Structure 1
C-alpha cells in the first residue's frame, strides 16, 4: 500500500482513538447531570435544563464513540455467517459492503450539514421551557459523521491491504 494510505489510516485511527476515549467520560457527565436533576427534584426546585442536557450529552457520547467502536470491531454485526468466514473472505465481503456504509454516512452527513447550517442561520432553539440553541449538538453530530466516514475509508484501506496480502 502507498505510504499516504498507511499515514491516513494511522492518523484517522489515532484521532478516533483519542476522540472515542475522551467521549467515554461523557458517561460520567450524564451521571452528574442526572444526579443534579434528582437532587433538585428532592429539594423541590427542579431544574429545567437537566433532561435535555442529559439527552444532548448522550447523543454526543453515542455518536462520538461510534467511530472508535467501529475501529475496534466491537460494533453490532450479524455474525450468523460472517464469523465463520476466513479473514480474507471477511475482508472481501467488507470491501463490497463498506460502500453501502459510506453512501449511508454521506447521505446522513449531507442532511446533518444542511440542518446545522439552518440552525446557525435562524438561531434555532428547542421548543421547550429551557429553549437551548441547537447548533452545538448539531455540530457534534456533523463532526461524528465526518469521523465515522473517515474511519469507514480507513477500514476499506485495511481490507484492501488484507486482500493484497499486506498489513497496515
Structure 2
C-alpha cells in the first residue's frame, strides 16, 4: 500500500511542477494581447481563447497537486478545534460520502463530454475556431488525477487512524 501511495504522490508532485509552468504561456499571451490591443490597436482573434484554455488546464490539472499539499480552500473553524483523531474520522467519512461520489460522477460526465467532442470533431464558435476536443479531454484527465490523489490521501488517513506514523 505504501508503494501505491508513494507512486501517486510522486506522480502528482512531478506533474504538478510541470503543470504550474502553464502560467508562463498564459502570462505571455495576455501581455501580447495587451500590447497588440493597446499599443498597436490590432487585437488578436485568438488570444482570449488561448488564455481560457491555458488557465482552465492550469486549474483543473492542478487540483491533484493542491490536494497533495492539503491546500484546497475550506472553512475549518470548528473542525480545527477538535482532536486530530476526530479530524481524521471526519476526513475519512467525508471522502466516502462526498468526495468519492462527487468526483466519480463528475469524472464519468467529463469522459462522456470529451468523447462526444471528439466524435463530432467539435470546434469553437469564434472566428479563430480552434478544436475543442483536446481542451475538453483535459477535464477527465484532471479529475482522474484528483481521484487518484484523493484515494492516496484517504489511504494515508486510514493508516494514521490505525496508528501508522504520519500516514506514510
TM interval, shorter chain, is over 0.9
Aligned length: 164
Provide the C-alpha distance between the structure 1 equivalents of 2:16 and 2:79, rounded to a whole number of angstroms: 26
Could you list the runs of 5+ residues in structure 1 that have no partner in the other structure? none
Instruction: Name 2:47's counterpart in structure 1.
Output: 50
Provide the C-alpha distance between the structure 1 equivalents of 2:110 and 2:54, rounded to a whole number of angstroms: 17
Once the two structures are superposed, residues 80-102 of structure 1 have per-residue CA deviations (whole angstroms, 9 ceiling, x without a partner) of 21111222211111010002111
Residue 19 in structure 1 maps to residue 15 in structure 2: yes
Provide the C-alpha distance between the structure 1 equivalents of 2:82 and 2:2, rounded to a whole number of angstroms: 26
Q: Spell out structure 1 runs of 4+ moving beyond 6 A.
A: none
Instruction: Name 1:59's counterpart in structure 2.
Output: 56
Instruction: Name 1:30's counterpart in structure 2.
Output: 26
- TM-score norm. by structure 2 comes to 0.94
Residue 82 in structure 1 maps to residue 62 in structure 2: no
Instruction: Name 2:126's counterpart in structure 1.
Output: 128
- TM-score norm. by structure 1 comes to 0.94
Provide the C-alpha distance between the structure 2 equivalents of 1:165 and 1:81, rounded to a whole number of angstroms: 24
Instruction: Name 2:2's counterpart in structure 1.
Output: 6
Instruction: Name 1:73's counterpart in structure 2.
Output: 70
Q: Secondary structure at the match of 1:79?
A: coil
Once the two structures are superposed, residues 51-102 of structure 1 have per-residue CA deviations (whole angstroms, 9 ceiling, x without a partner) of 0100110011111111111110111112121111222211111010002111
Provide the C-alpha distance between the structure 1 equivalents of 2:114 and 2:121, rounded to a whole number of angstroms: 10
Provide the C-alpha distance between the structure 2 equivalents of 1:11 and 1:74, rounded to a whole number of angstroms: 20
Q: Secondary structure at the match of 2:159?
A: helix
